[in-house]
Structure 1
């Protein structure tokens, strides 16, 4: 067993995780050292990483096919947790998407449900009998499976994670050999729906804003207005994005230097230890530091794709494809919202942002990837 595990380990992925851990701890320290309420966050992140590596190594001893068997149960539990949030959930940053556990630790079911959705969609596809996805037997049922958590998370509201579910669905369908005709139909529908929604939002914005205000949900629009209608958005709605762009831009080529970022050290950008941690990288390490971080993400995805290309299990390919899509979207959305091309959402930068739930789910996800590599040729009864 140990010989198989040692042979199946991917040294580059493990090395990348160690590098991510170092970057995360140093950036969190820089972002919180002047804030007494969060000054110990970097130490907590060390504990989270320690627990994360522990969970990852436990995954190496478990055949992923055994875990995959119970994915319908995980899905039911995940949806149940999302529903329970509306009755027992705690609100953080206007989103009722958290359970505060003993010891003050926050647990975000939306993060867990991303991995659960990947497993359940992969399990569902593993039962099919044809090469190309059937519209009624596979694509539509998978769409229903995806839409349920999508709507529940969107209602919290958590725009970032809810969109991640749609991205996972699209990528898993692609890896599952969706019929090109169905893909084109879906693309056309998406373009029509997106275009008409955008047109309606811009042209009926006062009416929409009035309606949302009557429901005490006007803050839902603030983050979207900051991107689509910056001239009409309030100063409060655009503050976060403007400050982030200013801070990242001031880093120039090489950055202001570690612990020297003016915006970071004076707290001008909200949540630089969590969702906005890329601001620390951009301001204090500049374009060079940001490019290095993006290259590290590229290496991680590259190694995952190499593993997918060298395994025989089609189900394993679905899982790796879904996990890769999850990471790529989170990186794109998190950085995009801080440079003004995406709305501000509560989505984390993988492996870098402070957050126990996000980090542990990401570590478990990579545990699945390594387990797929190790046990690819071993079937379970």
Structure 2
């Protein structure tokens, strides 16, 4: 009884309250987005389905929270292997939509395996890093390279299988998870500098191939719809009726919200159907237009507070395995939020990433709720004292 009481007291209510606020924002924005001309449904249609997904996600979050996270090590390899198998199945038998083959249909219900692979990868890398860094000794540069190589060997298969769907956004989330967890592992900044140089060289090579060997570039490296998205991002005004259509309308809608917004359900562009996928990938457009700069700022502040709480939990845990788990979740969420908001205001190219806890969708929402359950799990099993922390046993 005392142990349960301790667990109950250790529950991070601030984190839960922030998730609740995001849930409320999500339901309001989805309700308003459902009134757009591109959807022939009742405004409550998507809201009801999103509520169901929140309930399912909450159940899964509790499940991820109540099991001692140390037991996750027993399921790491099977889960990750299952995830990779599902990605292979998607490649051969997946449902194609908008130029990408990302979904599997089971009993009439579609889900996106890559969403769950993100969680499986966090578990796998946390276990791997815990095993190879648990002695806490200072590593040489050569040993750090070995750590990076092992992390890349585990993460690259998922990265590659997702990239060829093609789903660049989720593939970059995989890279973000690996990078954040390596950062938590204390990898030398020199290695990050080398990795940055390699990435820059790779991008420079792609630009050179685009300019000098365009046919090879479009046939083997970049899909036509991906290239159109890049063109639409770099110069949307050059083709406002096609490549730049979605981005220009999204930015116009957000900009027209000004300081206080036009009011709930009063967005003009949000309702006109001028912004495709406004209830999923471009939900931030609704928030910017109807709640203005103030509403968008409140949303971003909530995200910052969410990350602040998770960072505190990661560094309060004296079990490196728990710290790696939380770091992986931070990497999983941070890039998605930055990418989603960035693409709606023209800072980033358009990808199919949802805004965590706000965009409509089942696979992404349940994955993120499981991720929060893992973070709460780590916090619950860490005793906090004035001068340190100790893991609950």
How far off its partner does 1:197 sit? 2.4
Decide which moves more: 136-145 or 283-292: 136-145
The TM-score with structure 1 as length reference comes to: 0.92
Partner of 1:132: 139
Partner of 1:41: 46
Q: 1:379 to 1:127 in 2, by over 3 A?
A: farther
**CA distances 1:293-322 after superposition (whole Å, capped 9, x unpaired):** 000000100111111121101111111111
How many equivalent pairs are there? 376
Match of 1:329 among 335, 339, 353: 335
Q: 1:336 to 1:204 in 2, by over 3 A?
A: farther
Match of 2:355 among 344, 349, 353: 349
Match of 1:4 among 3, 6, 12: 6
Match of 1:227 among 205, 212, 233: 233
Partner of 2:319: 313
- Distance in 2 (CA, whole Å) between partners of 1:278 and 1:222 is 22
**CA distances 1:198-222 after superposition (whole Å, capped 9, x unpaired):** 3433x2374356636xx99421211
Partner of 2:17: 15
Match of 1:63 among 60, 63, 68: 68
Partner of 1:169: 178
The TM-score with structure 2 as length reference comes to: 0.90
Partner of 2:386: none
Decide which moves more: 229-238 or 105-114: 229-238
| Uncovered stretches (5+) of structure 2, i.e. residues with no partner | 383-389
**CA distances 1:178-205 after superposition (whole Å, capped 9, x unpaired):** 123322222222222223323433x237
In structure 2, the residue corresponding to 1:60 is in which secondary structure?
helix
How far off its partner does 1:119 sit? 1.2
- Distance in 1 (CA, whole Å) between partners of 2:262 and 2:213 is 40
Q: 1:227 to 1:66 in 2, by over 3 A?
A: same
- Distance in 1 (CA, whole Å) between partners of 2:238 and 2:208 is 16
**CA distances 1:308-351 after superposition (whole Å, capped 9, x unpaired):** 12110111111111111211100110011111121111100000
Which consecutive segments of 4 or more residues in structure 1 shift more than 6 A? none
Partner of 2:84: 79
- Distance in 2 (CA, whole Å) between partners of 1:284 and 1:12 is 27
Kindly report the root-mean-square deviation, in angstroms, between the aligned alpha carbons of the 2 structures.
Answer: 2.2
